[in-house]
Amino acid sequence: MYSMELKVNWEHKRVKHAIERMWLRGINRKDIISAIKKGQKRKQKKNQLTESLYSYYSVVYDEYFYKKQDIHKVYPITVKIW
């Protein structure tokens, strides 16, 4: 199976909120990447963000696909516990 390279942008200003939520919930960066790769995906209707449900938490993120460079770029927005 062919897949694009996944890049998570941890330096973007919008990601600060997600990092704070991760610290509060004991979730690390590897867990976020696992959720994005393996989680059940759904699109939010209002703002077209993607939510990936995985294990006991979900990650809301904005994603962009750059097919010419073969890159899937992700900007985490927040982390939820359910």
Domain 5-81 CATH (choose: 3.30.70, 3.30.780, 2.40.10, 3.30.2310): 3.30.2310
* 33's tokens: 């990447």
Q: What is the pTM of this model?
A: 0.85
pLDDT in tens, the chain (82 residues): 346 788 998 988 889 999 999 999 999 999 999 999 999 999 999 999 999 999 999 999 999 999 888 889 999 999 999 8
CA distance linking residue 20 with residue 22, whole number of Å? 5
Residues 6 or more apart whose CB falls under 8 angstroms from that of 26 comprise: none
Q: How many Cβ atoms are within 10 Å of 9's Cβ, its own excluded?
A: 14
